[in-house]
Amino acid sequence: MYKSPILKWILGVYYGLFLLFLYGPFIVMGILSFQPQNGGPQFPMRGFSIYWYEQLLGIIGTSRAAPLPVGPALVRSLILAFMVMVTSTVLGTITAQAFRHRFKHTGFMFYLVMLGFIVPGVLVGLGVALVSNQLHIDKHWWLTGYIVHVIYTFPFSFLVMLAIFNRFDRSVEEASASLGAGAATTFRKITFPLVFPGILTSLLIAFTLSYDEFPRSIFAGGPQLTLPLTIYGQFGIEIHPNLFAFGVLSTLFSFALLAVFAILIAISVKRRARGRGIQEEIR
């Protein structure tokens, strides 16, 4: 089947069309973000300028379009994503550690964690909002918003760490201990380097998911909006190319994050390849 050259060609062409379908809207958005001042959020292009980028970043004071209120929201979203990624990775690592021992109801615990992304965000947000109304607890992005974000990212951190521990040879830790290394040395020299790529992956996924999260925050996030909620607020009103400029910048930001992650992973892999001399260090 996979040897048929005709079929391979047909599927190859189809793959090309698929990429066009996937990236087409991004390309169009990218082009339109360079509309000049009198250009609208659609074709034709009335020229080519970085006017809407300047407008977005507040370099140009007055404009026919209201500025996107992204500044404070961006700061909130970054702080929140940072809090969430740390909590989620710690919770995910501890819970995945528990799965290294046998215990009853493994399946129950597994699906309890998975519920965090199986239950739709709008329901999680609604439930938490109801409880906080009832208990008269004020909703804030750093309190109830933070709680619902961790519910969402925890399953992903857990799965990543579970996959890491499943491929982890327990005997290297035991060997280290029997060679006289203390618990701290074993963790620093053996356990941590082995699980480090997993921790990095978990941090990246949790950060990205939290940074982009909005169905949960819409009810549980409180009055001070995070970045996605600010953008969602633009959905009901007339859009201008500054929204596209924002889209381009936020896409570049996501890619930059991915690039930093790739570089860190590459460094850690190289160090491990070099670090075959771990035995000597312990000695």
- Applying the rule CB under 8 A, the residues between 7 and 66 that interact with other proteins are 7-8, 11-12, 14-15, 18-19, 21-26, 28-29, 32, 41-43
Structure tokens at 275: 């670090």
Please give the single-letter amino acid code of residue 172.
V
Kindly state the tokens that stand for 171: 């005997």
Judged by CB under 8 A, which stretch of 169-177, 191-199, 230-238, 263-271 contacts other proteins?
230-238
Binding segment for other proteins (CB under 8 A), chosen from 6-14, 56-64, 67-75, 188-196, is 6-14
Residue from 188, 177, 239, 211 nearest 82 by CA: 211
Pair 214, 225: CB distance under 8 Å: no
Q: In the bound complex, what is the minimum distance in angstroms from residue 282's beta carbon to other proteins?
A: 26
Peptide bond into 44 cis (omega under 30): yes
Which of positions 180-219 make contact with other proteins (CB under 8 A)? 208, 212, 214-215, 218-219
Q: Which stretch binds other proteins (CB under 8 A): 2-10, 62-70, 174-182, 275-283?
A: 2-10
CA distance 55 to 61: 7
Q: Residue 226 CB: number of other CB atoms within 10 A?
A: 30
CB of residue 82 to other proteins, shortest distance in Å: 18
Buried b (16+ CB within 10 A) or exposed e, 120-158: ebeebbbbbbeebeeeeeebbbeebbbbbbbbbbbbbbb
By CB under 8 A, name the one of 112, 179, 183, 266 that touches other proteins: 112
Q: Which is nearer to other proteins, 97 or 279 (CB)?
A: 97
Closest to 210 measured CA to CA, from 250, 151, 153: 153
**CB 270 to other proteins: min, Å:** 18
Whether 149 contacts 86, CB under 8 Å:
no
What is the distance, to the nearest Å, from the Cα of residue 170 to the centroid of all Cα atoms in its chain? 30
Cβ at position 279, least distance to other proteins in Å: 29
Question: Is 164 or 181 the residue whose CB approaches other proteins more closely?
Answer: 164
Q: Which stretch binds other proteins (CB under 8 A): 50-58, 145-153, 187-195, 266-274?
A: 145-153
Of 70, 73, 84, 91, the residue at the interface with other proteins (CB under 8 A) is 91
Taking CB under 8 A as the rule, does residue 143 contact other proteins?
no
* From 60, 109, 172, 282, residue interacting with other proteins (rule: CB under 8 A): 109
